[in-house]
Amino acid sequence: MDTPLHGYSVNPVCCNGCGACAAMVPELFEMDEAVEKPVVLLVEAPEEDIERAMGICPHDCIEMD
């Protein structure tokens, strides 16, 4: 059975660049050191991975489509 994929994004307005998402879910995010914000690595990802990242974000900046 295939795992359904979902789009996801980071709201740059509320993101303070703490790096928790990139540290804890590196398959979905990496930090852009120039702007001190995370970069989304995939267009879509499994819901459970996105939800894990959402749970880690201290400011609730990660959104699933």
pLDDT of 59 reads: 96
Asked whether 27 and 51 are in contact (CB, 8 A), the reply is no
Residue positions counted in the chain: 65
Q: Average pLDDT in the 38-63 region? A: 97
Helices (H), 6-46: 20-24
**pLDDT for position 1:** 61
Give the pLDDT band of residue 3 (cuts 50, 70, 90).
confident
27-48 pLDDT, tens digit per residue, is 999 999 999 999 999 999 999 9
Please answer whether residues 56 and 28 qualify as being in contact, where contact means their C-beta atoms are separated by less than 8 angstroms: no
What is the pLDDT at residue 2?
Answer: 79
